[in-house]
Amino acid sequence: MRKISLLRRALDALPLPLFIKDDRGRYVYANAARLKLQKLGSLDELVGKTAADFYAPDVAAKLLETDRRVLAEAHEVHDNETAIIDETGQQRWVQSTKIPLIDDSGVVVGLVGIMRDVTLQRRATDQLAYQANYDTLTGLVNRAGFMRTLSEAVDRAAAIGGVGVAYVDVDCFKRINDTMGHEAGDRVLVEVAQRLTVGVRQHDTVARLGGDEFVVLLRHIGQPQDLELAGQRLLSTLRPPIVIDGHELCVTCSVGVALLRAGDSTAEDLLRSADQAMYAAKHAGRDRLVGQYR
């Protein structure tokens, strides 16, 4: 008994969560780190239960399947990353390695699981994925993410009822940066991004291409007059003054819109057409809309 008590003390001293299950996937033991991970006060709260008692049905199904594989195939299996709520109420990501327990006669009688906290790695991966697809200043989709979304929309144009693009450029933005500083300029860009987001429909997509250039993917736009109306709505949303540190800035934008015609454009062609229309709006005096309907 002393040896068993010493072994349990040793397992409880381990920083890694560890558990043991029987041949039916039921918990029979867990060390202190494993109990703490899910805010369990005692081993009694765990023994006899399965993953189905602690996780959402879809997550539990995957964990129970890896249990089944370990027990049936008698080899080590690694679970996918699993989200849990820890003892502080924070979400964490863990990954388990499950190893079969085999008795002297060669029969699998259970499994041992060792859990690793992979939250930092998961956050780093998620951050890299976010930076690859989103603009860090405004939170909008970035150029790379937008081009993928636009390409998909162009491919499905017939199914989604037509596709239009609005290309938006902040007029005289360099003057704002030069006179008020880059921090004020960034705040203007954030405000423009928020107004554009409010000014579109739920199924449209707003992106920042870079600098002071924004673009909007407008779905279910089949006629020039519909695109014209959507573009004018964006202009109206952008025209009210922007207040920065108590100063009202009359910030205007030039907007170019282009409509995809069946079979005659790629995503790149459509964006280029909207860009050309935007420059035509600038040359015509800024703070206006120009359409290119091909």
Provide the annotated active-site residues. 212
Instruction: DSSP for the chain, please give it.
Output: -HHHHHHHHHHHH-SS-EEEEETTS-EEEE-HHHHHHTT-SSGGGTTT--GGGTS-HHHHHHHHHHHHHHHHH-S-EEPPPEEEE-TTS-EEEEEEEEEEEE-TTS-EEEEEEEEEE-HHHHHHHHHHHHHHHB-TTT-SB-HHHHHHHHHHHHHTTTTTT-EEEEEEEETTHHHHHHHH-HHHHHHHHHHHHHHHHHTS-TT-EEEEEETTEEEEEEES--SHHHHHHHHHHHHHHH-S-EEETTEEE---EEEEEEEPPTTS--HHHHHHHHHHHHHHHHHTTSSSEEEE--
Q: Distance between CA 213 and CA 192 in Å, rounded?
A: 10
Among 231, 233, 238, residue whose Cα is nearest residue 291? 231
Pull the structure tokens for residue 103.
């008795």
Strand partners, 57: none
State which amino acid sits at residue 23.
Answer: D
Strand partners, 117: 94
Among 143, 56, 138, 67, residue whose Cα is nearest residue 98? 67
Tell me if 193 sits within 8 A of 140, measured CB to CB.
yes
